[in-house]
Amino acid sequence: MKKISFLPSFSPSMRQSSIFWVSLLGLMTSAVAQFKVDVAGVGLTQVPVAIAPFKGEDLASQKPSAIVFADLERSGQFKAIGMPGVSMDELSRPDFPQLRQKSADALLSGSSTRLADGRFELRARLWDVVSGQERGDYRETVAGADLRLSSHRLADWVYEKLTGEKGVFATRIAYITKTAGKYSLWIADSDGENAQSALTSSEPIISPTWSPKGTQLAYVSFESRKPVIYVHELSTGKRKIMANFKGSNSAPAWSPDGRSLLATLSRDGGSQLYQIDVGSGEAKRLTQSGGIDTEPTYSQDGSKIYFVSDRGGSPQIYKMTASGGSVERVTFGGSYNISPALSPDGRWLTYISRVGGQFKVQVMNLSTGQSSAITETTADERPSFAPNSKLIVYATVFQGREALMTSTLDGKIKAKLSGQSGDIREPAWGPFR
């Protein structure tokens, strides 16, 4: 194992032979932007929901019922029950005895209608099968290009109606690929579909991170042949150099208020943590250790910073006050723990731990300090929480291929977002929008 001094970024050694490495420099296979969702696993408590084919949806390229079906199953909270051959819409009276025989607790039916102006009207009704009562109606009119997004919003509506919590299906993820010598930054739906390229470069792009409002991404680009931190406005494509100091500029992370970025800079000789004012670009040093401090992230309330450091001899996760004082070690199990991410509700920490030479996603209960591996794969990297804190997205190698996967916090339900022959890195789950 060796240290790469120009960019202090911790990542699993099964993809490179170093502790500190640039995670995208080793990507070798071609990438694709579209994914297929495969869901596996059984949760302890899942609400069985019957979903009937929507009337008229065969006339559009997107089938709302299928999108909602996949969304709900991927969440781990529901067992979706298909109803092939059943013809019904939001006005149809359900056959409740038959649905009860299918062990359904709820039913979603609806329609997708193409209007004269080319837009689509999506309607749906949710039923309580046990009581035989309506739970609510959904209606939205959107452009054809937004029918998939509208279907995700419908799934969020169903999720909230049945759980009382917000769904995350209409949110987005960011990730990096390399294909034919080109690095690309992609923005996609939460299920990996509808991917749009935000940036393409012949040089590596790494460490994408969402602004709190989801309108900007910060990332590191090597386009000037050195690591430089940019802030990218997604609606316009405009970019601003945020950190181009002497040495390396890496590992950006937004503050909860969006006014500053944390970053690892080596401008003063060592790789230490700094706070950068987004408006002025001024950098304030936060750590003074003799080791490498990197991969910072704020707690949700902005009072603490979690980060990775080898100050104790091996990479471990630490926390400190946001001003840079009172450093405490957080991880003690194993000699290699990296890539911390905090759940938006402040209850959980996820990270990558090397266990017996294998790299697995860990989840720690911050109130107890207890942690456990939630994956069976051995080459996991860069976990990121969904904005409702119920799911984690991460990159891994599954069945010999690069893939993005999501998992419930207990590891019982996983969904693979796999490219046909792709190589995918650095997922980051965006906020609610």
pLDDT of 412 > 50? The answer is yes
- The string of pLDDT tens digits covering residues 350-393 is 999 998 899 999 999 999 999 999 999 999 999 999 999 999 99
- The string of pLDDT tens digits covering residues 122-179 is 999 999 999 999 999 999 999 999 999 999 999 999 999 999 999 999 999 999 998 8
CATH code reported for the domain at 46-163: 3.40.50.10070
CB 397, CB 414: distance < 8 Å: no
Please give the Cα distance from 205 to 221 (Å, whole number): 5
**Nearest partner of 194 among 154, 250, 152, judged by Cα:** 152
**Mean pLDDT of the 401-418 span:** 90
Residue 295 confidence (pLDDT): 98
Question: Given pLDDT bands bounded at 50, 70 and 90, which one contains residue 40?
Answer: low
Residue 269 confidence (pLDDT): 87
Residue 45 confidence (pLDDT): 78
- The string of pLDDT tens digits covering residues 105-128 is 999 999 999 999 999 999 999 999
Identify the CATH homologous superfamily for domain 172-429: TolB, C-terminal domain (2.120.10.30)
Residue 31 confidence (pLDDT): 35
CB 307, CB 340: distance < 8 Å: yes
**Nearest partner of 415 among 53, 34, 72, judged by Cα:** 72
Using CB atoms within 10 Å of the CB of residue 59, give its burial: 0 to 12 exposed, 13 to 18 middle, 19+ buried. Answer: exposed
Question: Given pLDDT bands bounded at 50, 70 and 90, which one contains residue 38?
Answer: low
Mean pLDDT of the chain: 89
pLDDT of 101 > 50? The answer is yes
- The string of pLDDT tens digits covering residues 170-224 is 999 999 998 888 999 999 999 999 999 999 999 999 999 999 999 999 999 999 9
The residue ranges of DSSP E strands in 330-411, in sequence order, are 337-342, 348-355, 358-365, 371-373, 381-385, 391-398, 401-408
Domain ranges of the chain: 46-163, 172-429
CB 365, CB 376: distance < 8 Å: no
User: Do the domains at 46-163 and 172-429 have one common CATH topology?
Assistant: no
Q: Which residues pair with 273 in a beta bridge?
A: 264
**Nearest partner of 256 among 220, 297, 289, judged by Cα:** 297
Q: What percentage of residues in the chain have a pLDDT greater than 90?
A: 81
Residue 17 confidence (pLDDT): 29
Q: What percentage of residues in the chain have a pLDDT greater than 70?
A: 89
144: phi then psi, degrees, rounded to nearest 5? -55, -35
The residue ranges of DSSP E strands in 23-97, in sequence order, are 36-40, 47-51, 78-82
Please give the Cα distance from 361 to 377 (Å, whole number): 9
- The string of pLDDT tens digits covering residues 228-268 is 999 999 999 999 999 999 999 999 999 999 999 999 999 99
Please give the Cα distance from 335 to 311 (Å, whole number): 12
